[in-house]
Amino acid sequence: MSEETLSNLSREDRSFEPPAELAAHANVKEEAYERAAPDREAYWAEQAERLDWDRKWDRVLDWDNPPFAKWFVGGRLNAAYNCVDRHVEAGNGGKVALHWVGEPLDDTRTITYADLQDEVCKAANALTALGVESGDRVAIYLPMIPEAVVAMLACARIGAPHTVVFGGFSSDALASRLADCQAKVVITSDGGYRRGAASALKPAVDHARAKASEDGFDVEHVLVVRRTGQEVDWDDSVDVWWHDVVDSASAEHACEFFDAEHPLYVMYTSGTTGKPKGILHTTGGYLTGTSFTHWAVFDLKPDTDVYWCTADIGWVTGHSYIVYGPLANGATQVMYEGTPDAPEKGRWWQIIQDYGVTLFYTAPTAIRTFMKQGREIPDKFDLSSLRLLGSVGESINPEAYMWYREVIGGERAPIVDTWWQTETGAMMISPLPGVTAGKPGSAMRPLPGIEADVVDEVGESVPNGSGGYLVVKRPWPAMLRTIWGDDERFVDTYWSRFRKQGYYFAGDGAKKDDDGDIWLLGRVDDVMNVSGHRLSTTEIESALVSHPKVAEAAVVGAADDTTGQAVCAFVILRDSAGDGGADIVEELRRHVQKEIGAIAKPRQIMIVPELPKTRSGKIMRRLLKDIAEHREVGDVTTLADSSVMTLISEGLSSGKAED
Ligand code: AMP
């Protein structure tokens, strides 16, 4: 028998038809799949027509030198013009682009498309005056304030690729990114508000600049937004205040149009290991992909919807689904600076109620945190404006999906579970809300124009009911073009596993259910091998989360003399479950056995108060594996909260955790 690629353990029979009203008026209907399949390039060319081009392309796709793609060859456009000016020119200057909500209560700003145009033009003029030219890189290290959006668009407007570094990253992380992309200017602020306090940003830039300088690279200018008013160190030869140079700049700026393949931005992603990779996205294809998917998957009705994506601007989700997709579509959106629990739990629901949010996009990690706290909190608010919910970042466990659907979506709003990556630039696999009967936990089908599949070790498509590797078989417009400065690493990382077939390998495991719908099963690096069965993390975690006392779970494979590896689980209980009772561990082991079978029954279950997560909310299983195998915990630099590992270890040694 050949080794199974990845076991298919769980079954899920629930599914939810699209609401009739939504289906009747949906932006995209079933026919899109049929139309796109025979001629994907024609389908993408049709989507590219959504944008304003200064010059149309001569050729849709140049794939003569795979895996280096060129889309809309010969076309010229400006991303900022598409996101801002054209809406003003169409008479929508008075329309709200951003309802910005600061973390301190009553600290809000309303920014129309006309306001945004003025701000972007001023910032573009200011950057030009600082010596930034087309092709120069600009780093952005800002909190979630409107200037972050303005700064990105101003860079795009003058053709200077930006690299946004998440404001929670350390000065070392910033320094390595500055040096890698040789950023000429850094845009930052004195600080931002987080969890009720002003936290400084400028000192990290000062350190990063000094560090980069030691390594032989000098940043020319630091442009500083005043947000908190806190004290900052100042170097007159480098530092300039935003209010000095941007506010006084002219609001007139004639934009230049750039080649469709002009670099738009570099986004660093650390992945699971190693040196961060600078993922390069270019202009025409990326904007086509983000604008189409934002319109199709959220069924955006720009005149009536209020959209809110809770991601930080420092992640790709913030780039594609706060800045480029929604603004290209002329959407009205909410942007929030702070955390969900500031000043108290329920802040997000308050914002939805206050602004009548209709489309809401967040991550499973947030949903599970709210599940842990209990439904009493969201139940206090009127969430009836919501008509569609989205999820991104990890698989959404079926139980978290059901909670999201019932408690937040009032059993009305369909859920779109969107699979994509920094590298893919835009959503790839997702339900279409007016077409797909969504299944809790499944990202369902590749979007029209996308050819993705689940394949085995040798690249053969697996039959329905089986698991394997998720691949993308044909190029797509928003795909990464390379890793900044490292074509070889680009080829090795993404295109070598299935080189013969020419498939892009995403690093994720997945399965096709009996209907051929796709379920993401976690990173293949995290797969466990138990008695010769290759088990994914997602299915066992979902089985644990389906127990009424469990809010969140992470499983890892730990070395085992008998079975090769054994399943070890780390579990956070819901607040309502108290300590779970004396038999909680046995109860949960039996539950997993009942849900998916004896093979997946955890050898060990540890009840913990927190799980180690990256700053974008993904569980760092590698660290849990160190604990499960009684090793010293490895590199924790990408951990969001470094005290978590101490909390877990203390919990374990004080006897709260059980074997
Ligand atoms: P990032 O590039 O940081 O956005 O992370 C991309 C990775 O997140 C993917 O390779 C998946 O492992 C995971 N991911 C994102 N969205 C989903 C989803 N809807 N379902 C399952 N996994 C997801």
Residue 253 tokens, joined: 């700026």
Q: Atom 11 (ligand 1): residue with closest C-alpha?
A: 394
Q: What are phi and psi of 241, to 5 degrees?
A: -80, 140
Residue 439 tokens, joined: 């299944």
Q: What is the DSSP string of 341-404?
A: TSSSTTHHHHHHHHHT--EEEE-HHHHHHHHHH-THHHHTS--TT--EEEE-SSPPPHHHHHHI
pLDDT bracket for residue 652 (50, 70, 90) = low
Counting atoms of ligand 1 from 1, which one is nearest the CA of 423?
Answer: 2
Lining ligand 1 with CB less than 6 A are 269, 316, 392-395, 417-419, 421-422, 443, 506-508, 520, 523, 616
**C-alpha span between 652 and 657 (Å, rounded):** 5
Least Cα distance to 314 among 142, 96, 127, 180 occurs for 142
Q: Atom 9 (ligand 1): residue with closest C-alpha?
A: 421
Going by C-beta distance under 8 Å and a sequence separation of 6 or more, which residues neighbour residue 429?
A: 418, 419, 420, 443, 444, 445, 446, 447, 450, 452, 518, 520
Going by C-beta distance under 8 Å and a sequence separation of 6 or more, which residues neighbour residue 496?
A: none
Please give the distance, rounded to the nearest whole angstrom, from the Cα atom of residue 420 to the centre of ligand 1: 6
Q: What are phi and psi of 198, to 5 degrees?
A: -80, 125
**C-alpha span between 288 and 199 (Å, rounded):** 37
From 365, 395, 404, the mutation candidate for ligand 1 (largest count of ligand atoms within 8 A of CB) is 395
Residue 536 tokens, joined: 């994914």
Least Cα distance to 315 among 10, 641, 615, 621 occurs for 615
Residue 614's identity, in one-letter code, is T
Please give the distance, rounded to the nearest whole angstrom, from the Cα atom of residue 365 to the centre of ligand 1: 12
Q: Atom 19 (ligand 1): residue with closest C-alpha?
A: 419
Counting every residue written for the chain, the total comes to: 659
Please give the distance, rounded to the nearest whole angstrom, from the Cα atom of residue 2 to the centre of ligand 1: 29
With contact defined as beta carbons under 8 Å apart, do 362 and 331 qualify?
no
With contact defined as beta carbons under 8 Å apart, do 390 and 408 qualify?
no
Radius of gyration, CA atoms only, the chain: 24
Please give the distance, rounded to the nearest whole angstrom, from the Cα atom of residue 612 to the centre of ligand 1: 17
pLDDT of the residue at 644: 81
Please give the distance, rounded to the nearest whole angstrom, from the Cα atom of residue 393 to the centre of ligand 1: 4
**C-alpha span between 521 and 519 (Å, rounded):** 6
Look at 34-38, 183-187, 483-487, 525-529 and tell me which has the smallest mean pLDDT. Answer: 525-529
Predicted confidence (pLDDT) per residue in 366-413, tens digit: 999 999 999 999 999 999 999 999 999 999 999 999 999 999 999 999
From 320, 420, 538, the mutation candidate for ligand 1 (largest count of ligand atoms within 8 A of CB) is 420
Question: What is the end-to-end Cα distance of the chain in Å, rounded?
Answer: 35
Say whether 527-654 and 20-77+279-522 share the same fold: no
DSSP SS3 for 623: helix
β-bridge partners, 360: 308, 389
pLDDT, average across residues 634-655: 70
Predicted confidence (pLDDT) per residue in 117-142, tens digit: 999 999 999 999 999 999 999 999 99
Counting atoms of ligand 1 from 1, which one is nearest the CA of 522?
Answer: 12
pLDDT bracket for residue 654 (50, 70, 90) = very low
Counting atoms of ligand 1 from 1, which one is nearest the CA of 616?
Answer: 3
pLDDT, average across residues 53-77: 98
Please give the distance, rounded to the nearest whole angstrom, from the Cα atom of residue 618 to the centre of ligand 1: 9
**C-alpha span between 153 and 151 (Å, rounded):** 5
Alpha helices per DSSP H over 215-283: 242-245
Going by C-beta distance under 8 Å and a sequence separation of 6 or more, which residues neighbour residue 500?
A: 459
Q: Atom 20 (ligand 1): residue with closest C-alpha?
A: 395
Please give the distance, rounded to the nearest whole angstrom, from the Cα atom of residue 422 to the centre of ligand 1: 8
Q: Atom 23 (ligand 1): residue with closest C-alpha?
A: 394
Within the chain, what is the greatest distance between any pair of CA atoms? 73
Which secondary-structure segment (H or E) carries 332? strand 332-336
Q: Atom 22 (ligand 1): residue with closest C-alpha?
A: 394
Residue 20's identity, in one-letter code, is A
pLDDT bracket for residue 273 (50, 70, 90) = low
Predicted confidence (pLDDT) per residue in 178-193, tens digit: 999 999 999 999 999 9
- Domain segments of the chain as ranges: 20-77+279-522, 79-256, 527-654
Q: Atom 7 (ligand 1): residue with closest C-alpha?
A: 421
Please give the distance, rounded to the nearest whole angstrom, from the Cα atom of residue 394 to the centre of ligand 1: 5
Which secondary-structure segment (H or E) carries 293? helix 284-297
**C-alpha span between 294 and 304 (Å, rounded):** 15
**C-alpha span between 323 and 98 (Å, rounded):** 10
pLDDT of the residue at 9: 85
Residue 208's identity, in one-letter code, is A
Helix%, strand%, coil% for the chain, nearest 5: 30, 25, 45
Q: Atom 21 (ligand 1): residue with closest C-alpha?
A: 395
Q: What is the DSSP string of 125-164?
A: HHHHHTT--TT-EEEEE--SSHHHHHHHHHHHHHT--EEE
pLDDT of the residue at 3: 60
Least Cα distance to 344 among 383, 373, 308 occurs for 373
**C-alpha span between 166 and 170 (Å, rounded):** 9
Q: Domain 79-256's class?
A: alpha beta
Please give the distance, rounded to the nearest whole angstrom, from the Cα atom of residue 507 to the centre of ligand 1: 10
pLDDT, average across residues 626-642: 79
Indicate if the pLDDT at residue 274 is higher than 70: no
From 508, 517, 536, 538, the mutation candidate for ligand 1 (largest count of ligand atoms within 8 A of CB) is 508
With contact defined as beta carbons under 8 Å apart, do 51 and 292 qualify?
no
pLDDT, average across residues 589-606: 94
Please give the distance, rounded to the nearest whole angstrom, from the Cα atom of residue 582 to the centre of ligand 1: 36
Strand order in the sheet with 332-336: 108-112, 96-101, 332-336, 306-309, 359-362, 388-391, 415-417
pTM of the entire structure? 0.95
Counting atoms of ligand 1 from 1, which one is nearest the CA of 523?
Answer: 12
pLDDT of the residue at 304: 98
pLDDT of the residue at 174: 94
Please give the distance, rounded to the nearest whole angstrom, from the Cα atom of residue 544 to the centre of ligand 1: 20
Please give the distance, rounded to the nearest whole angstrom, from the Cα atom of residue 456 to the centre of ligand 1: 20
With contact defined as beta carbons under 8 Å apart, do 524 and 469 qualify?
yes
β-bridge partners, 68: 65
Of 642 and 207, which is predicted with more confidence? 207
Please give the distance, rounded to the nearest whole angstrom, from the Cα atom of residue 158 to the centre of ligand 1: 31
β-bridge partners, 200: 191
**CATH fold label, 20-77+279-522:** Rossmann fold (3.40.50)
The CATH superfamily of 527-654 is ANL, C-terminal domain (3.30.300.30)
Counting atoms of ligand 1 from 1, which one is nearest the CA of 443?
Answer: 19
Please give the distance, rounded to the nearest whole angstrom, from the Cα atom of residue 418 to the centre of ligand 1: 9
Going by C-beta distance under 8 Å and a sequence separation of 6 or more, which residues neighbour residue 488?
A: none
Cα–Cα distances in Å, from 551 out to 548, 587, 608, 658?
8, 15, 11, 18
Indicate if the pLDDT at residue 658 is higher than 80: no
pLDDT of the residue at 446: 98
Q: What is the mean pLDDT of the chain?
A: 94
Which secondary-structure segment (H or E) carries 264? strand 263-269
Please give the distance, rounded to the nearest whole angstrom, from the Cα atom of residue 543 to the centre of ligand 1: 20
Counting atoms of ligand 1 from 1, which one is nearest the CA of 418?
Answer: 19
With contact defined as beta carbons under 8 Å apart, do 413 and 387 qualify?
yes
pLDDT, average across residues 515-542: 94
Counting atoms of ligand 1 from 1, which one is nearest the CA of 316?
Answer: 4
**C-alpha span between 307 and 302 (Å, rounded):** 9
Q: Atom 5 (ligand 1): residue with closest C-alpha?
A: 421
